[in-house]
Amino acid sequence: MPKRLSPPAVASLDATDRAILAALADDARLATSELARQIGLSAPATADRVRRLEAQGVIAAFTVELDPRALGYTLQAIVRVKPLPGQLHLVEELLRRIPEFVECDKVTGDDCFICRLYLRTIEHLDDILSKVTERAETSTAIVKSTPVPRRLPPLVEDDGAHR
């Protein structure tokens, strides 16, 4: 099921919450005792805060980050997808079913989707795009490098100026 952009209620974070989030972003496998030591709280107080952050929806998951290259996916592509008339929902479902599409955003503008794929070869890309181009126009760019990798949004105190 796709994630919706409607977030839970905006959580109020203090400096300790932000320190917890930053530490867990660096290493989600930190033991509660080590996390507590790093932020200067007791282990029970730290565990309570982590549970509260989970309950508020601030922490959505503890996950693992894989290196696709170690799995043989040496190419990465960004594909802009513009469904043909009447094909929007079919294209959305098709993108969900193709596992090489590891991320796909529905966007405004000329294209409806911007997607990220991990691939083994250019021929692999061609095979996948042939499935999509029956129902949509595509524009593809091969990723050369990632100067700004996926990261957390800023964990700074919100003064309300950007609302």
Is 95 inside any structural domain?
Answer: yes
Query: Minimum mean pLDDT among 10-14, 58-62, 84-88, 103-107: which range?
Result: 10-14
Is 96 inside any structural domain?
Answer: yes
pLDDT confidence band for 1 (50 / 70 / 90): very low
Residue 116, strand partner residues: 78, 103
Same domain, 30 and 83: no
Predicted local distance difference test score (pLDDT) of residue 64: 86
Is 32 inside any structural domain?
Answer: yes
Instruction: Say if pTM beats, i.e. exceeds, 0.85.
Output: no
Is 63 inside any structural domain?
Answer: no
Is 7 inside any structural domain?
Answer: no
Is 8 inside any structural domain?
Answer: no
Same domain, 37 and 87: no
Is 60 inside any structural domain?
Answer: no
pLDDT confidence band for 67 (50 / 70 / 90): very high
Same domain, 42 and 73: no
Q: Is the pLDDT of residue 159 over 70?
A: no
Q: Average pLDDT in the 115-136 region? A: 97
Same domain, 123 and 98: yes
Domain that holds residue 120: 68-142
Q: In what order do the strands lie in the sheet with 101-106?
A: 101-106, 113-119, 75-83, 136-142
pLDDT confidence band for 151 (50 / 70 / 90): confident
